Structure 1
Amino acid sequence: MSEIDPDLFRAVLGNFASGVAVVTASDDGVPVGLTAQSFMSLSLDPPLVMFCPNRTSTSWPRIQHAKHFAANILAEGQDDLGLKFARSGGDKFAGVPWSPGPSGAPLLEGVLAHIDCTIEAVHAGGDHLIVVGRVLHLAAATELKPLVYFRSSFESLAARPPAAP
């Protein structure tokens, strides 16, 4: 079996466009969060979602301790939030309006959608972890478009051509 070059792996998999989520929690009343482009739905019955934090994340242990999280799906133009929560350290919530969701996790204002969850399971996944969340509450702003991550940068969806008459 041959070794896969990590740079080639990143470049090839970067061709898979994904949405961008900021995963938040309230750890003993203190808001914590991280950016995750590895977020997806997992199951309809029961309603489950998943995200994959890096094992070296300093925010993940605090989210795990909280036993809940909210996935805040970023909207077009929210690149700054994606970058802010991707950085390590500092007060990521400074100047970011939010309100607590049913689990207590911060729901960021102005996002495309939010999914409030309890942590159902955590599995090993190489240099990342696979976190499964049971959905408690969710809502979406249907008039917004998503922020997309493609080839290592944030992108917007192209406008759709008008439908043929």
Structure 2
Amino acid sequence: MTITSPGLKEAMRNVPSTVALITSRDQDGKPHGMAASAVISVSVDPPSVLVAVNQTAGIFPVVRSTGRICINFLGKHQEHLIEPFSRSDMREHRFAFEDWSDAHHASTDRLPWLPGARAVVFGEIDHEVPYGSHSLFIAKVSRVCLPSTETTERSPLVWIGGKSASLSYA
């Protein structure tokens, strides 16, 4: 069997993954963001996460230069946020939807985050591994915001086969 990029992409579409919005701010304070399903925990000691970012994404130079990210893990009720954060032609509308907050992070930087997300993780980039079309950013976790009970009772947003799916608790 020959391995091809389209074949791998199709195979990975059949693996369920949690959807997150990755956010940051550039040096001028402008918010940037993207939808991502390539986010994983790396270690609990030190607390760290890995985010894969396409090097052509608008947020890529921002993350690289500022070294700060916020990962907003979405609930099913926030599915409407995927489209603006996935399409470059909707870039100017990304932060117009939902109730975004600004959080002090590290020094004086403020990162946009979603209080209604299932979980929010703030991190500082510790290591970058360029690989092919993407860079893998490993961030040390500096802060975690856990949701209210009301939010945790809502289903997480899971993506499979190019569309959202629901999970049920046993």
Regarding TM over 0.5, the answer is yes
Which runs of structure 2 are paired with 1:1-165 in the superposition (5 Å)? 3-28=2-27, 29-89=29-89, 90-91=91-92, 92-103=94-105, 104-141=110-147, 142-157=152-167, 159-160=168-169
- Which of the two has greater helix per residue? 2
Q: Which stretches in structure 2 are left out of the alignment for 5+ residues? A: none
Q: Count residues with an aligned counterpart.
A: 159
Superposition CA RMSD, Å: 1.7
SS state at 1:64 partner: helix
- Superposed displacement of residue 3, structure 1: 4.3
Q: Find the aligned partners of 1:160 and 1:96 in 2 and give their Cα distance.
A: 26
- Superposed displacement of residue 78, structure 1: 1.4
**Is residue 112–residue 140 contact of structure 1 (8 Å, CA) maintained in 2?**
yes
Q: Deviations over 1:106-155 (max 9, x none)?
A: 11231111001111111012221101111011022233321001112221
TM-score by length of 1: 0.88
Which stretch of structure 1 is more off in the superposition, 142-151 or 40-49? 142-151
Identity of aligned residues (%): 29
TM-score by length of 2: 0.85
The code of the aligned residue for 1:149 comes to W
- Superposed displacement of residue 10, structure 1: 1.6
Q: Which stretches in structure 1 are left out of the alignment for 5+ residues? A: none
**Is residue 49–residue 134 contact of structure 1 (8 Å, CA) maintained in 2?**
yes
The code of the aligned residue for 2:140 comes to R
Q: Deviations over 1:21-45 (max 9, x none)?
A: 1000121311111111000100111
